[in-house]
């Protein structure tokens, strides 16, 4: 497994998907300063991130989860979640932008 700790800095507008309902591309910075792109991330994951049942702003939130390198993408920073149910995720602190 490839566990990574990531500060989420970018989420894209949701796109319809036959397999996952709606997807977003999520990107951020790892602890070592390298960029990382996580795709696909189901929109429902962002809605239920804190168990609120509503959409929340996940930008500038630290997360930790298991990822696998995407072999179908030429970008070296592209990864996919190992588990699409996100049960292995750890939600960390959120950085206040004020």
Task: Output the average pLDDT for the chain.
Answer: 80
pLDDT in tens, 39-57: 887 766 665 555 555 555 6
Cα angle 41-45-50, degrees, rounded to a multiple of 5:
140
Percent of the chain with pLDDT over 70: 77
Is pLDDT of 16 > 60?
yes
Is pLDDT of 13 > 80?
no
Percent of the chain with pLDDT over 90: 26
């Amino acid at each position: 497994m490839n566990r990574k700790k990531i500060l989420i800095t970018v989420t894209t507008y949701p796109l319809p998907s036959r397999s996952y309902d709606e997807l977003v591309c999520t990107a951020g910075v790892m602890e070592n300063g390298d960029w990382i792109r996580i795709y696909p991330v189901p929109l429902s994951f962002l809605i239920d991130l804190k168990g609120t049942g509503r959409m929340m702003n996940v930008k500038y939130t630290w997360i930790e989860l298991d990822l696998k390198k995407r072999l179908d993408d030429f970008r070296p920073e592209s990864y996919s979640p190992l588990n699409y149910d996100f049960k292995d995720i750890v939600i960390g602190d959120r950085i206040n932008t004020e």
